Amino acid sequence: MEDSQGKLYNLINLEEISGGSNEFISEMIRLFIEQSENTITGFNEALEQENFSIIRNLAHQIKPSIDNIKITSLMPVIREVEHLAEMESQVENLSSKIAEVNTGLKNVIFQLQKELTTRI
């Protein structure tokens, strides 16, 4: 879900804990982008191998980051991915949910990269 400026995320949590430090926020954005790219790659590889344990772990690891930058469109989906992987069932449904998360993360990465250029 986009905000009024078309952003798929909200940095209010980072702004609150940063004490107004653009450097801190920029570093957190860079870390999120890196984690997201690794998660997308990991999801794709694990799904190909039907490795539910890795899928569950990746979903569990990125969930707090998704929550922290308030990607509200992905909050319920990442939890569903984690749950489906834990149950080791509904591979087709899991696959479509992972595709949804991957697309969402790619869109957020694109927006955050633009955000970084405005913070420098």
Residue 16: CATH number of its domain:
1.20.120
Instruction: Report, as an integer, the average pLDDT of 37-55.
Output: 96
Instruction: Report, as an integer, the average pLDDT of 13-34.
Output: 94
User: Is 6 domain-assigned?
Assistant: no
Question: Helices marked H in 49-90 — which ranges?
Answer: 52-68, 75-87
What local confidence, expressed as pLDDT, does residue 117 receive?
92
Average per-residue pLDDT for the chain? 93
Residue 69 CA to residue 17 CA, distance in Å, equals 12
Identify whether the C-beta of residue 77 lies closer than 8 Å to the C-beta of residue 97.
yes
User: Is 3 domain-assigned?
Assistant: no
Residue 66 CA to residue 55 CA, distance in Å, equals 16
Give the contacts of 51 (CB within 8 A, at least 6 positions apart).
Answer: 45
Residue 39 CA to residue 45 CA, distance in Å, equals 10
The domain containing residue 72 runs over which residues? 12-119
DSSP 6: S
User: Is 2 domain-assigned?
Assistant: no
Residue 3 CA to residue 6 CA, distance in Å, equals 5
Instruction: Look at the chain and report how many structural domains it folds into.
Output: 1
Does residue 57 have a pLDDT over 70? yes
Does residue 93 have a pLDDT over 80? yes
User: Is 17 domain-assigned?
Assistant: yes
User: Is 19 domain-assigned?
Assistant: yes
What local confidence, expressed as pLDDT, does residue 119 receive?
76
